[in-house]
Amino acid sequence: MKGYDMFFTDRDVKDGMECNVCGQMCDVTRRVNGPTSWGESVGHGSHWHDEFRCPNRDEPWHKQALELLMEMEKTNSPSLKKIMDKDLKDIIKKKEVIGGWHKSFCI
């Protein structure tokens, strides 16, 4: 799965990263020692890295935008993508959840 709103890089490789959902500059924590994948976690592994997280990551509107973005990537319909893109832009601009979506559906 590609990174959307949280990223790991080798130490001091990137000055900054933008959220792939809302475009906000991510907060960075430098020189973290820990796992960066499920496999590494299960294997009790760790390594030094930098961690980038979108400051909006836990906001309900951001979670809705992420779900919509993931749905856009799944569909093969250009017309549905166009409709979803309009909704996505509205969510990001207003920073509000739009109708019919409930936070219990969050990832």
10 lies in the same domain as 46: yes
Q: Judge if 14 and 49 occupy the same domain.
A: yes
Q: What is the pLDDT of residue 16?
A: 94
Q: Is residue 28 part of a domain?
A: yes
pLDDT band at 7 (very low <50, low <70, confident <90, very high): very high
* CB neighbour list of residue 104: distance below 8 Å, 6 or more residues apart: none
Which of 61, 58, 59, 83 is CA-nearest to residue 72? 83
Terminus-to-terminus CA distance in the chain, angstroms?
13
Number of domains within the chain: 2
pLDDT digits (tens, 9 = 90+) for 76-89: 999 999 999 999 99
- The full length of the chain comes to 107
Q: Quick check: 59 and 91 in contact, CB under 8 A? A: no
- Model confidence at 41: pLDDT above 60: yes
Note whether 44 and 74 are same-domain residues.
no
Whether 105 maps to a domain, the answer reads no
Q: Which of these, 87, 50, 47, lies nearest to 66 by C-alpha position?
A: 87
Same domain, 83 and 47: no
Q: Do 44 and 15 share a structural domain? A: yes
Average pLDDT over residues 57-84: 95
pLDDT at res. 37 = 87
Domain of 11, in residue numbers: 6-53
- 48, amino acid identity: W
Tell me, yes or no, whether 47 and 65 share the same domain.
no
